[in-house]
Amino acid sequence: MYNESSLIPSVFTKVSAHARSHPTWLYRFVDDGSTDGTPDVIEELLREPNCPPNIILLRRTPNTGKATVIQQSMLSAQEEHLLFTDGDLAYPLELLDQLNDQLSTYDVVIGSRTLANTPQTNIRLVRRILGGGFNFLVRALTGTKHHDTQAGLKGFRNIPANALFRRQKVRNFAFDAELIFLAHRLNLRVGEIAATVEPSHSYKKSKMNLLKDPPRMLMSIVKMRITHRGAKWNDENPVDADPEVRIEICPEAQGLVSSTPSHEPAEIGAEN
């Protein structure tokens, strides 16, 4: 999450309810160097006596961007199933259960707004056109079949996740497409679920610049197509070094961080 202090109370309420009904799951809020007090608000809520014990906060400084946050968080997680969703909860948390269930069959499961087949009235026309155009180019340039690579709702089995995120190079919003392309290059099983956007969600607050980011994303797709053209499962792939980042774990939850895979999925919020 990045500078989302105004959303935290409502988001935390929803996550807490889901955490109570899934006591063996571990939920991670990951703050990416917010400057508006976002992690302070989360930490205060974590201290509430009725807060579920399976929610933790990771505070990262400085800001490094969504792609890096998710990559480093996934590589450090030990759980058997790893799930992430955007920190503004654009999608109902119940979809995490569907992701988790599908991971019994697939190595990677992605949310697809196309499969939802419901009117996306809260998405501006220009965003829909750009998004559709980008996904068309992804399919054309990579040979993958998925009509929506960009939904912030994805799940991975642990070992395949490690193979994918160690190879991740893209640092902008095209990182989702890179992960899916890599999954197919490594012959992983990729499944999809319908991802319905919450009616109350607004894309007006998105950090994406609709003028500058699409060309950068397109160039990233071309570059990663070249970079990963010969990717194989047994390749040596030293992960890019994490920038000079300080990570602080909420003190009340430090005991959970080293937990064994009995805490099945990890939920990561990083909308920036």
Find residue 159's DSSP bridge partners: none
| pLDDT number for residue 235 | 67
Q: Taking the model in full, what pTM does it have?
A: 0.83
Tokens matching residue 2: 């990045």
SS3 144: coil
Cis bond upstream, residue 52 (ω within 30): no
- Cα separation, 1 vs 268, in Å, equals 9
Q: Which residues contact 38 (CB under 8 A, 6 or more apart)?
A: 1, 2, 3, 4, 5, 8, 31
Per residue of the chain (272 residues), give pLDDT as tens. 999 999 999 999 999 999 999 999 999 999 999 999 999 999 999 999 999 999 999 999 999 999 999 999 999 999 999 999 999 999 999 999 999 999 999 999 999 999 997 766 656 666 666 777 788 888 888 889 999 998 999 999 999 999 999 999 989 888 999 999 999 999 999 999 999 988 877 554 555 555 566 778 778 888 887 888 767 666 656 566 555 676 677 645 444 433 333 445 555 444 44
Tokens 């990663």 belong to residue:
224
| pLDDT number for residue 203 | 52
- Cα separation, 11 vs 251, in Å, equals 21
Find residue 55's DSSP bridge partners: 27
How far is CA 40 from each of CA 35, 56, 69, rounded to the nearest angstrom?
Answer: 10, 13, 19
Q: Count the Cβ atoms, other than its own, within 10 Å of residue 138.
A: 26
| pLDDT number for residue 241 | 55
| pLDDT number for residue 263 | 45
DSSP state of 135: H
Are 91 and 151 contacting, i.e. CB atoms less than 8 angstroms apart? Answer: yes
| pLDDT number for residue 35 | 96
| pLDDT number for residue 173 | 81
The sign of the torsion formed by the CA atoms of 87, 190, 225, 265 equals: positive
How far is CA 205 from each of CA 121, 159, 162, 190, rounded to the nearest angstrom?
Answer: 16, 34, 31, 30
| pLDDT number for residue 71 | 95
With CA atoms as reference, report the closest residue to 175 among 220, 211, 140, 119: 220
Q: Which residues of 170-199 are buried (b: 16+ CB within 10 A; e: fewer)?
A: bbbbbbbbbbbbbbbbbebebebbebbbee
Gyration radius of the chain over CA positions: 18
Find residue 156's DSSP bridge partners: 82, 108
| pLDDT number for residue 215 | 77
Half-sphere exposure of 136 (CA within 13 A, CB side): 6
Torsion over CA of 216, 219, 221 and 226, rounded to 10 degrees?
-150
